[in-house]
Amino acid sequence: MFNRGLQPLRPLRHLLIAVVLAALAAPAWAQPASLPRVRLIATGGTISNRMGGRLTAEELIKSIPDVARYARPEFEQFANLPSSALTLAQWLQLARRINEVFREDRDLAGIVVTSGTDTLEETAYFLNLTVRASRPVVVVGSMRNPSTLGYEGAANLLEGIRVAAEPEARGKGVLVVLNDEINSAREVTKTDALRLETFQSRSYGLLGVVDADRVVFYRQPLKRHTADSEFDVSKIAELPRVDVVLVYQDAPGDIITSAVEHGARGIVLAAAGAGATSGTQGQALSDAASKGVFVVTSTRTGSGRVAAFRTAPQPATQAAAGNAAAPRPRGMLRIAAEDLAPVKARILLMLALTQTNDAAEIQRMFTQY
């Protein structure tokens, strides 16, 4: 009698069993439709560099713990290379792809890009200038590879996805997320070759943190970026050559001369202090400027601002030998990098030279970006 009384409950029991089995069979990253969607675009780097073969974008997604609590992740494989192996042409392709995804998918909350850490700050800053959207783009990486004890890549990916899904992350430019910390792509730099806390914004400080309970922001960048940028990669076929030259004691100027002879449109000087040169560099820089090559002065110190030069405007000069197709420059050719690190000043100068050959305009860009 007791068993017969339970028979009407059997269909309900079977339904519950079916629901549980279906949940167990579903992919680990399947989530309710109410959660924001975030796309992972993988480019490679240490975060995927497992012994015996690199992890794919799909494998990276599957490695993320508890991602179902925060977002519905998607993935695509852009490349699977060390960050230093990415070419300028691939940078342009990546920026175009991110712009395309945002343009075609209006409901996507944000994008996470994986990168090797060696040149991560350069890729992130390039995207900060060329992604034309206010939705978050978050660049993540790891200092340890997946075959190493203490691999932090999965945790960084989870935090990157949480930030990309966070509405408050909109409008803050491209963000770099590692080690529970959120930094601006413009300001962040790699400060240690091995330590996990390597990415820092020095005197500017963090934008925010990713804690267990929520994503917290403390400030936001004021320089122009992303949706407010004037750089349109859809109109850029290739980036002009710009080289970085370091100032050191009794440095020869022939390195600068060689760069010009090999087609450099610009030179970024990683100067001592706030602009000092050494050896024969000064004469070489003057010769470069006389041939129409733009010189941007930054500092090798790691922080601090190089003030704009008060130089009288110069008449237009002929383009550099071997670069006769280059437009004739107007105005002064010595440009101050403001507080941009040399490698980031190079990126801004390359993009600036696709837009103008007016030195005053380029100086404006360095002031605004």
Q: For residue range 259-290, list pLDDT tens digits in order.
A: 999 999 999 999 999 999 999 999 999 999 99
Helix (H) or strand (E) holding 78: strand 72-81
Q: Does 6 reside within a domain? A: no
- The Cα–Cα gap between 262 and 279 comes to 22
Residues of the chain with pLDDT under 50: 1-4, 6, 9, 15-17, 19-30, 312-332
The total of other beta-carbon atoms located within 10 Å of residue 24's CB is 7
What pLDDT does residue 13 have?
54
CATH number at residue 53: 3.40.50.1170
Strand locations in the chain (E):
37-44, 72-81, 110-114, 137-140, 175-178, 181-184, 189-190, 199-200, 208-210, 215-217, 242-246, 266-271, 294-299, 334-336
Bridge-based pairing state of the strands 181-184 and 175-178:
antiparallel
In this structure, the chain runs to a length of 369
**Judgement on whether residues 244 and 191 belong to the same structural domain of the protein:** no
What pLDDT does residue 24 have?
45
What pLDDT does residue 2 have?
40
Quick check: 70 and 155 in contact, CB under 8 A?
no
**Judgement on whether residues 153 and 251 belong to the same structural domain of the protein:** no
Q: Does 265 reside within a domain? A: yes
Residues known to be catalytic: 46
Count CA atoms closer than 13 A to 250's CA, side-chain side.
Answer: 0
CATH number at residue 305: 3.40.50.40
Task: Identify the domain containing residue 45 by its residue range.
Answer: 32-228
**Judgement on whether residues 118 and 200 belong to the same structural domain of the protein:** yes
Q: Does 26 reside within a domain? A: no
> Does residue 92 sit in helix, strand or coil?
helix
What pLDDT does residue 309 have?
77
Quick check: 87 and 179 in contact, CB under 8 A?
no
DSSP 8-state assignment for residue 344 = H
**Domain boundary, last residue among 170, 199, 228:** 228
**Judgement on whether residues 208 and 271 belong to the same structural domain of the protein:** no
Quick check: 265 and 242 in contact, CB under 8 A?
yes
Bridge-based pairing state of the strands 266-271 and 294-299:
parallel
Q: Does 13 reside within a domain? A: no
Residue 345 identity (one-letter amino acid)? A
Q: What share of the chain is helix, strand, coil (3-state, %, to 5)?
A: 35, 20, 45
Query: In degrees rounded to 5, what are phi and psi of residue 99?
Result: -60, -40
Quick check: 273 and 247 in contact, CB under 8 A?
no
Number of domains present in the structure of the chain: 2
**Judgement on whether residues 222 and 296 belong to the same structural domain of the protein:** no
**Judgement on whether residues 255 and 335 belong to the same structural domain of the protein:** yes
Contacts of 93 (CB under 8 A, 6+ apart): 78
**Judgement on whether residues 74 and 194 belong to the same structural domain of the protein:** yes
**Judgement on whether residues 63 and 173 belong to the same structural domain of the protein:** yes
Q: Does 235 reside within a domain? A: no
Q: Does 3 reside within a domain? A: no
The alpha carbons of the chain give a radius of gyration, in whole angstroms, of: 25
What pLDDT does residue 310 have?
64
**Judgement on whether residues 207 and 75 belong to the same structural domain of the protein:** yes
**Judgement on whether residues 134 and 169 belong to the same structural domain of the protein:** yes
Helices (H) and strands (E) in the chain, counts: 10, 14
**Judgement on whether residues 76 and 214 belong to the same structural domain of the protein:** yes
**Judgement on whether residues 364 and 303 belong to the same structural domain of the protein:** yes
What pLDDT does residue 23 have?
47
> How large a percentage of the chain has pLDDT more than 90?
83
Q: Does 19 reside within a domain? A: no
Quick check: 331 and 314 in contact, CB under 8 A?
yes
Q: Does 20 reside within a domain? A: no
